[in-house]
Amino acid sequence: MAQQKPVKSHIVPKAYLNNFTKSNGKLFKLRTDLQKRPRPTEVHPSGICYQKGFYQFNDANPIQGYTINETNILEDYGFLYENKLGKLIERLTTSTDPLPIEVAEEFALMLFDIKARNQYMRQHSFSKQNIHTVINDLLVEHHQRRQELEPILQAKGSTFERLVELTEGLRHDWTKDDAAIKELHNRSLLENKINPSQTRQLVFNKMARGNWTILKTTLNHQFITSDNPGYCQDSNNMIHNTRFIGQVGFLFPLTPYHLLIIVMEGNQLGPLPLQKVVSYKYAEVNWVRGINQTTWQMATKEVYAAHENPLLQTWASLHSSLII
């Protein structure tokens, strides 16, 4: 098959970033690694959070058992929800009417997917260090279950030694270079589009069932966002990129003036209600400042805002500086 030209893959959807633009269609960006007083740069959303071919597969058969003729299938099929994302955010931020529960669950899926498809996820969850940890844990499990596994393997004409060898082969295949890590991340994204895991379905169910609150703020105290928007906070106030176990809150900035908080209990299972009632309340100034600081710390490398001041204020607070 002829090599296709890589598409410009947006790691954070433009439909989301557009909510943080000014009337001229631009927003301000700032790198998070600057130690001296920074100067935000004004940019268009189409010029940030993208990388050519980020979601493109190397071949046309990315997952065993599926025959894919389009190496850009994640762009062409997997991320079609982007057409709805902007409208759903507008609905949540301009109307207090309850959402049909299927719409709330779909929106929860979109927000989770933004986290899953992100560059932060690829760099951390699919890092070589994490892959080594997974393989080591798998080998330990093999040895713990050796007596159980050996007759099963023997019936299939294989051996325990061969199983260990194949597992070590996965370590080599998955960590040999950055292209292999990219392929592994993309495979996980596609697999959960074609055949969503039960675990993910439970997460969406838990998010849709949780208590939803929109925090509203004003022109003087705006929310910022980043190239890795949203984070989780557990019952011990520990911050995680994604963690949906036990009691946890999921915070996601929607616009400079609105942030969604989904508070989930430990075991929220069973039938969903017919509608999702959303609460609306004004955020205290300290809340906005604390949320912006965490948004900054969870960024991969850049933060964004509709105006310069929230970025400069957040930088100053993190660097213990009074210079704004």
Q: Using one digit for the tens of pLDDT, what is the confidence trace for 95-146?
A: 999 999 999 999 999 999 999 999 999 988 877 888 888 888 888 888 889 8
Percent of the chain with pLDDT over 90: 49
Does 321 have pLDDT greater than 60?
no
Does 323 have pLDDT greater than 50?
no
Percent of the chain with pLDDT over 70: 92
**Cβ-proximal residues to 107 (8 Å cutoff; 6+ apart), any chain:** 88, 92, 99
**Cβ-proximal residues to 66 (8 Å cutoff; 6+ apart), any chain:** 190, 194
pTM for the model stands at 0.86
CA 4 and chain centroid, separation: 27
Q: Beta-carbon neighbour count of residue 172 at 10 Å?
A: 10
**What is the distance between the alpha carbons of residues 314 and 320, in angstroms, rounded to a whole number?**
10
Write out pLDDT tens, residues 80-90: 888 899 999 99
Per-residue pLDDT, averaged over 40-58, amounts to: 91
Higher pLDDT, 60 or 161: 161
Contact 44, 26 (CB under 8 A): yes
**Mean pLDDT over the full length of the chain:** 87
Write out pLDDT tens, residues 207-223: 988 999 999 999 889 99
Does 5 have pLDDT greater than 60?
no
- Which residues face 249 on adjacent strands? 233, 263
Helix and strand totals (H; E) in the chain: 12, 14
Phi/psi of residue 129, nearest 5 degrees: -60, -45
Does 324 have pLDDT greater than 50?
no
Does 153 have pLDDT greater than 60?
yes
Per-residue pLDDT, averaged over 190-201, amounts to: 82
- Output the pLDDT for position 289: 95
Per-residue pLDDT, averaged over 36-48, amounts to: 91
Contact 293, 318 (CB under 8 A): yes
- Output the pLDDT for position 61: 60
